[in-house]
Amino acid sequence: MKKLDKWKFIGENGEFKVENADQSKYLYFPLANEAEMMSAITPRLHGDIKTGQNTFAMRPVSLEDLHNTKSARNFWLKVNGQNIWSVSGNSAAQFAKQFSGEEEDVELEAGLLWHKITRTNENLNLKAEITNFVPTNSDTLELMQVKVKNTGDEALKIEPTAAVPIYGRSADNLRDHRHVTSLLHRTKTLENGVVVKPTLSFDERGHKQNEVSYAVLGAEADGKAPVGFFPVLEDYIGDGGSLEWPEAVVLSSDDYLKAGAEIDGYETVGALKFEEITLKAGAEAAYVIAISIAEEEVDYDKLAAKYCSQEKFEKYLTENKEFWEQKLSVVDFNSADREFDQWMKWVTLQPILRRIYGCSFLPSHDYGRGGRGWRDLWQDCLALLLMEPEPVSDLLYNNFSGVRIDGSNATIIGSEPGEFKADRNNIKRVWMDHGAWPLITTKLYIDQSGDLDFLLKEQSYFEEGSELKDQNDEIYQGTVIEHFLVQHLTHFFDVGEHNNFLLKNGDWNDGLDMAENRGESVAFTALYGSNLLELAELLKALAAEKDLEKIELAEELSILLDTIERDFNYGSVDYKRKVLSDYRQTCSQGISGRKIEVDLTELISDLESKGQSIFEHLNQNEWIETEAGDKFYNGYYDDDGQRLEGDHPKGIRMTLTGQVFPVMAGVADEDQIQQVVDSADKYLKDLSVGGYRLNTDFKELKTNLGRLFGFAYGHKENGAMFSHMAVMYSNALYKQGFAEAGHKVIDYIYQHCKDFDTSRTYPGIPEYINQRGRGMYPYLTGSASWLLLTEVTQIFGVRGELGNLVLDPKLLKSHFDAQGEAAIKTIFADKLLNITYLNSNQLKVDDYQVQEVKINGQTVNFENKAGAAVVERSLISESAEEELKLEVVLN
């Protein structure tokens, strides 16, 4: 058997190569554009192509479909009238060779955002190079070029046939009415290919006339059209054949249709027969195929003329490469480990991919119907803010209209601004962490931009299907501050019996979904606590900058601002629940629309009292010590009101989430952080899965806490190394000055992913590492956003602080090259900054601080804030240059 080789970077823009990529059937790669054309492709050209849940050009695939051929792009050659060869490796004959040691050589090369397979068959003297990508314009199609070369000394006669099965309908019809929906197919043969336009979009809740058409078009290198077509799947494969051994190809059928034929009511295949040619020794022929999904009427002849020739293919491919390179050029790392820097290119791409694919449209992500979840949306914006600040601020603002006045929010977000849905299955569920993310992202936005006015912008609230109206039937609007207050204060009073915020239908961990009554999330109580304090700080800055004394808030909120002129008792669960029930009672008749003026100083102190009360409560009640003397935080209570973590007859129980947020929030002091690190090293660290697991093995199906305990241990939310939480752990450690410990977390993940033999994952960070060490759910994961954020704002320490530029590197000695340099490119204040840190004495992280900052060669003043340099925004924003060079001396 040929050995799958590890990936190697071969260029400067993340391009990589994998030898014998064909030896793993679970690898796939995304091809997409911002018009939401979404493809997945494997080394055998398997995968699917779609623009949304209801518009799949190729049959939707899950991970376990990738090793059959029902959804593979194919291109066949019949050689010298006898040998049948599939350039994608999808023939029965090629399958039979698997594990024999005589497999064909298959090499993958991929880059931003293209995929190339080179397959060589030495017996046939043929080499094929197949390149796929999606053009970056507004057309929704995937292009594929097949180049075939005769590598032998004698001429070969070849009969080429392209074959892409056209599914042409909604993913819902994969099982539901798969056959009946084929009766809707209206198929035509065109000059260059086959098009299907189903009559209806089939949905028993109400069928609709369908407007979407799906086509497979093709041409030779010079644009010459195919000679004919086999559009009906059963005719193409033959009654006794299959997609791996199609009769039309095997028997060289000349029973093909010419352009202009119409066939109704059958499963369709874009099978395009090209003219037979003689390929001389050393000669090459090329074919270009386009797989298109069109929502409107299209002139397919024009579309074929636009794309289907070698010249056009190369032109759009170049454009595609330039587009993505340009898009990602705004963040670039240059450290001593160039391989890691290249790997980060893929991580940087990931948040963009999730914006395009949501969490639904790659083979591992076989759930949901598109759109993104609330927390994912906000967290992906963290990275997008570092890459494309302008449009993201609008996006943030629009997202606030998804907040409900009861503090919960719409959970599924469509692709249009302000397009929200309650939940994908129309079940109203509340994830208690949702209210916390918008503040984190908005704080990053304000720090990067200095735009404190954003807090005063008015926005509406979400109410099922529309915007919330007040008792006078007017759309009600409140400031962004008011939205934050609603989100935080409603949770603040919504506590369980141990005075932590109720877990409700889950928190960040979707798997904790069975403790709706008595479950509590201590972990997220900590995050809300620090958010309350952060909000107070933002309000102080706003008051100072705008000379503002009062702000307007919904009258109803005064109930929740209880420290202002009332007695309060945050130690009492009953007291808190009473306040919340008063608020809910008042809002239940609809919001009045009346506003009150609140003194900012009083509001700030209210938030501080609340935040501090949480911190005290957590340290007094949730900092635990095991019998063995280990100390860490308890993160949860189950639905029987039992504390989750600590000693247990089945072994110590500990979660990473329970530690991450108290550390990130600043609840834990230095000693406590060190003890958390020690306990995590003892109970959660496992290098065979890339570092820190999400939890210890509870050895119990805890139906009083969540579905995750039903998953086998070491998988997904039950104790895998779950990248998102691990990276947030690293972020929290860096934030609190634990650079070495923070670095280890990321390094373990990276080293594991790099070990391709075990991880089997292309460059980029996967959602988790499973019990066998495999990287799972690649590309679409919030961990990418957090990793990019951590690299830029913590490790390289380049971040904003209310608009000013902070330079606060936490780079270890190993990050600096032989000259003691480490560099980052990033945008700030609309300028591209090329920042080089100079650590010529190779000092350790705790031994250096910023000594000098030069902008374009000129030394500039800065404020030294505990070793970090704070540079006035104007020194950057007012420069006439678009790109600035910063040299930062560390000493």
Provide the binding-site residues for ligand G1P, judged by CB under 6 A. Answer: 359, 373, 375-376, 508-511, 717, 724, 767, 781-783
What three-state secondary structure class fits 132? strand
Amino acid (1-letter code) at residue 141: L
Say which DSSP state 223 is in.
-
When the beta carbons of 77 and 359 are compared against ligand G1P, the nearer one is 359
Tokens of 593: 């629309």
Closest CA to 504 of 562, 570, 435: 435
Q: What is the dihedral of CA 241, 242, 245, 249, to 10 degrees?
A: 70
Sheet holding 775-776, edge to edge: 721-722, 768-769, 775-776
Q: How far is the CB of 515 from ligand G1P (least distance, A)?
A: 15
CB atoms within 10 A of CB 381: 25
Find all residues with CB under 8 Å of 585, minimum gap 6, and list them.
none
- Smallest gap from Cβ 713 to ligand G1P, in A, equals 16
| Shortest Cβ 507–ligand G1P spacing (Å) | 8
Residue (415 or 819) nearer to ligand G1P, CB:
415
Beta-carbon contacts of 797 under 8 Å, excluding residues fewer than 6 positions away, are 806, 807, 808, 809, 810, 811, 868
Nearer to ligand G1P, 364 or 530 (CB): 364
DSSP β-bridge partners for residue 467: 462
Strand 268-273 and strand 775-776: the pairing is: unpaired
Q: Angle at the Cα of 211 (from 208 to 213), degrees rounded to 5? A: 130
- Shortest CB 374 distance to ligand G1P, Å: 8
Residue type, 156: L
List of residues 6+ apart from 379 with CB closer than 8 A: 437, 441, 782, 785, 786
- Rank residues 232 and 512 by Cβ distance to ligand G1P and give the closer one: 512
CB of 664 to ligand G1P, least distance (A): 15
Q: How far is the CB of 464 from ligand G1P (least distance, A)?
A: 22
CB of 348 to ligand G1P, least distance (A): 16
Query: How far apart, in whole angstroms, are the C-alpha atoms of residue 162 and residue 793?
Result: 49
Least distance to ligand G1P, CB of residue 511, Å: 6
Contact assessment for residue 90 and residue 243, using Cβ atoms and an 8 Å cutoff: yes
Pick between residue 769 and residue 869 the one whose CB is nearest to ligand G1P. 769
Q: Identify which of residues 266 and 713 has a Cβ nearer to ligand G1P in the complex.
A: 713
Q: Supply φ then ψ for residue 415, to 5 degrees.
A: -85, -20
CA 491/CA 493 separation, integer angstroms: 5
The number of beta carbons lying within 10 Å of the beta carbon of residue 62 is: 14
233 vs 787, beta carbon nearer ligand G1P? 787
Cα end-to-end span (Å), the chain = 54
DSSP collapsed to 3 states, 444-496 = HHHHHHCCHHHHHCEEECEECCEECECCCCCECEEEHHHHHHHHHHHHHHCEC
Distance (Å, rounded) from C-alpha 602 to C-alpha 553? 13
**Residue with Cβ nearer ligand G1P (134 or 725):** 725
Outline where DSSP puts E strands in 764-830.
768-769, 775-776, 798-801, 804-807, 821-828
Query: Quick one: angle between helices 657-665 and 670-683, nearest 10?
Result: 160
- Nearest approach in angstroms of CB 376 to ligand G1P is 5
Nearer to ligand G1P, 432 or 890 (CB): 432
How many CB atoms lie under 10 A from the CB of residue 723?
A: 28
Q: How far is the CB of 509 from ligand G1P (least distance, A)?
A: 5
CB of 356 to ligand G1P, least distance (A): 14
Q: Is the CB of 375 or the CB of 752 nearer to ligand G1P?
A: 375
Give the nearest distance from C-beta 512 to ligand G1P in angstroms. Answer: 8
Q: With beta carbons less than 8 A apart as the criterion, state whether 541 and 561 touch.
A: no
Smallest gap from Cβ 510 to ligand G1P, in A, equals 4
- Is-contact 186 197, C-beta < 8 A? yes
Nearest to 656 by CA among 639, 622, 681, 674: 681
Report the nearest approach of ligand G1P to the CB of residue 768 (Å): 7
Q: Which is nearer to ligand G1P, 266 or 711 (CB)?
A: 711
Choose between 32 and 868: whose C-beta lies nearer to ligand G1P: 32
Residue 495: name the closest of 525, 531, 523 by CA: 525
Q: What is the DSSP string of 608-627?
A: HHHHHHHHHHHHHHTEEE-T
* For ligand G1P, the closer CB: 78 or 375: 375
CB 349 to ligand G1P: min, Å? 15
Instruction: Please say whether the beta carbons of 773 and 791 come within 8 A.
Output: no
> In angstroms, what is the minimal distance from the CB of 781 to ligand G1P?
3
Within 10 angstroms of residue 285's Cβ, the number of other Cβ atoms is 19
Which lies closer to ligand G1P via its Cβ, residue 162 or residue 728?
728
Residue with tokens 């590492």: 769
- How far apart CA 501 and CA 494 sit, in angstroms, is 6
- How big is the CA angle at 72 (ends 19 and 129), to the nearest 5 degrees? 45
Bond from prior residue into 113 cis (ω within 30 degrees of 0): yes
Q: What is the DSSP annotation of 562-594?
A: TTSSS---TT-HHHHHHHHHHHHHHHHT-----
Q: Which CB, 291 or 359, lies closer to ligand G1P?
A: 359
User: Which residue, 165 or 775, has its beta carbon nearer to ligand G1P?
Assistant: 775
Q: Residue 499 Cβ, how far from ligand G1P at the closest point, in Å?
A: 25
User: Which residue type sits at 813?
Assistant: K
Give the nearer residue to ligand G1P in terms of CB position, either 36 or 717.
717
Nearer to ligand G1P, 94 or 509 (CB): 509
Chain residue at closest Cβ approach to ligand G1P: 782
User: Measured from the CB of residue 718, what is the shortest distance to ligand G1P in angstroms?
Assistant: 11
